[in-house]
Every structure is written in C-alpha cells, then in structure tokens.
Structure 1
C-alpha cells in the first residue's frame, strides 16, 4: 500500500492517522464523561491527567494531519451531487476546527485554574493564560459545548459513510478501511457491476 494518497484512494499514512485519531477521540470523550461522575480526589485527578494528555495528543496529530493533507493529493469525491460534496467539505473543516479548538480550550481552562497540563508525566506545558476563576468557568462551558459539537459532527460523519456504503453502494467507506487497497475507489461495487450488466 502506498504511503501517500492519490486521486483514487487514501494512502497508508492518512488511513493510520484517521483511525488512530478516531480511537483517541473516543477514549478522550469516554474518560471525560467518566471522570465527571467521580468525587474530587486522587482518582479523579489521575483520570483528568490522562484526559488532558490525550487532548494534547489529538491536537498534535490534528496539526500533523492538516500539514500532511496539504502535502499530498486529495482523492476525488465519489458523490455525483455537488451539494453533497460541499457538505462533506464543510463537515471535514468543522471536524478539524473542533479537534483544534477543543484541546486548546481544555489547555486554557487548566491554565485559568492554575493547574498546568502534564503530558503523560513526561513534560509540562506552559500556561496559556493567567489564573482567572471567571475565565475558567467560561472556558469550561466552551469546552463542554465543543464536546457535544464533536459528537454531532462525528455522528454525521459516520452516518454519511454508512449512507455511501449501504445506499449509494460506492467505495467511500471501503477506501478508508485498514487493509483496503489504495485504488479501492476505482473499482465499482458488486452491486453496481451487476446493475451495469443488466
């Protein structure tokens, strides 16, 4: 499998980043939801530290993914509908924006609480803002709103992929699956081949 993408499919690097980030986002959201139910104490602080470390990792990988995407061709969209292609682009831009804004808001929230972010215990990030209780409360609301925004965007993303796979019967989903060939999008599905032979 090619490392870089081309007009007919995604390369190994893009697929790897996509699925690693999907797992990290799922993990960060699950931990964030879980730690909200814990009483204040060492256990909660430990889970909070893991949550923040995952957030910093997601932020770093998002920046890396954007840079990588600018350095390689973007596979051609398979949908024949201009409106659908435009909505997909907006959805991807929204996901990138939230994947940057959400970790940053969490980092700033920790800074406002005067609680520096330690990344897996390896190093500590500098505070982005001065301690400020009112700002902390504002950023906590922003962080909460962004968490549900990413749920909606990811849910829409998954729904669109399933729609392409089960209704449109194209290779939009297959060409992003691990192990699939980078030219998956150039091969019509069995359903389409059957239709064309009738």
Structure 2
C-alpha cells in the first residue's frame, strides 16, 4: 500500500487519519454523553479536560487531513457510479469535514464563554480562550455544541450506511478502498469479487 492516494484507493496516511478521527469522535461522543451525569469531583474535572483536549486534537487532525488531501489528491469516483451519487457523496464529505471542525470549535467557544478554569491541552500547555466570559452566550454556545454534535452523528450514520450499502448491495470498492488492502498470493488466482 502506498502512502499517497491513488486513482483507485485511499493511501495509508488518508486511511490512518480517517480511522483515527472516527475513533476519537466515538470516544468524544460516549464521554460527552456520560460526563454530564458525573458528580463534581476531581475525576469530573479530569474527564472534562480529557474531552476538551480530545476535541482540540480532532480539529488539528482534520486540518492535517485536509492538507494531506490537497497534497495527495483523492481517488476517482468508483467506476459505474451514477453522477447523482457522486455529487451527494462529495457534498456529504465536505459537510462531514465542516462538522468535524465545527463541533469541537463550538465546544471550545462554550468553554471560553463559561469562564471556567484554564484548560491545559492534555496537561501540556494552556489553551487560550476564544471569547471573554459571558452568561448570555453560555446557553447559545452550549446548545450550538449539542445540535452540531447530533447533526454530525446523523451525517456519520448516513455516510456509514451508504458505504455498507455499496459494499453489500452494489458490490463495488467504495468501502474497500478506505480499508488496508489484503496481500494476494501470487501463485493462486484472485477471486472475481476481489478484482477491482
């Protein structure tokens, strides 16, 4: 597998960034839904700081992913895909990028206006506040963060469902090209389903 993307599939770096961001978003979702129920204790603040630091890490990874995509390009559409499907997939991808940036950014803004103690990014350095404390903006930022999160969840569900639909019913390479390629035994012929 090559590091850069090819016309047929995503390269190793794009795949690594994709699945790492997916994993971090899953962790953020679970922790974000659970932490509001935690009692106010030292562990409560530790979990909140971990959630916020992970969100900021997602922003950084999304920026890296976009820069890498600009540098390495993207695979061509899967052969035989209708134009309308390509168009919807393209719009969905860019909406996902926007939301993967907007959700943690809205959390950062919510943290800023809440006037809470300074956040240290994974305990390494202090993260600057984007806005001064504001009681009037707190509910707006909180609700924005929550609604953007649920919008991201819905879009990720649609994205995953489309990938599985292509894999299970269209039998094309849409999902496989974001997975590590399997090495083939040169002495034995590849099954027809694997030739793409």
Give the TM-score normalised by the residue count of structure 1: 0.89
Question: Greater RCO between the two (CA within 8 Å, min separation 6)?
Answer: 1
Root mean square deviation of aligned Cα: 1.8
Deviation at 1:189, TM superposition (A): 7.5
Q: How does 1:1-198 map to 2 (within 5 A)?
A: 1-78=1-78, 79-115=80-116, 116-180=118-182, 190-191=192-193
Indicate conservation of the 8 Å contact 1:4/1:11, yes or no: yes
Deviation at 1:58, TM superposition (A): 0.3
Between 79-88 and 21-30, the greater mean CA deviation after superposition = 79-88
Indicate conservation of the 8 Å contact 1:169/1:192, yes or no: no
Deviation at 1:118, TM superposition (A): 1.8
Partner of 1:185: none
Deviation at 1:19, TM superposition (A): 0.6
Indicate conservation of the 8 Å contact 1:169/1:189, yes or no: no
- Say which SS state the counterpart of residue 136 (structure 2) adopts: helix
Deviation at 1:133, TM superposition (A): 1.1
User: For the structure 1 residues 129 and 33, does the alpha-carbon distance in structure 2 shift closer, same or farther, using more than 3 Å as the test?
Assistant: same
Give the TM-score normalised by the residue count of structure 2: 0.90
Deviation at 1:180, TM superposition (A): 4.3
Indicate conservation of the 8 Å contact 1:113/1:133, yes or no: yes
Deviation at 1:72, TM superposition (A): 1.3
Indicate conservation of the 8 Å contact 1:111/1:131, yes or no: yes
Unaligned regions of 5+ residues in structure 2, if any? 184-189
Q: What is the rounded CA distance, in whole Å, between the counterparts of 1:179 and 1:19 in structure 2? A: 15
Deviation at 1:191, TM superposition (A): 4.7
- The C-alpha deviation readout for 1:82-137, integer Å capped at 9, x for no partner, is 11111101111111001111111111111101223321111111110001011111
Q: What is the rounded CA distance, in whole Å, between the counterparts of 1:16 and 1:24 in structure 2? A: 12
- The C-alpha deviation readout for 1:2-49, integer Å capped at 9, x for no partner, is 110011111110000011111000001110011022123322211111
**Count of aligned positions:** 187
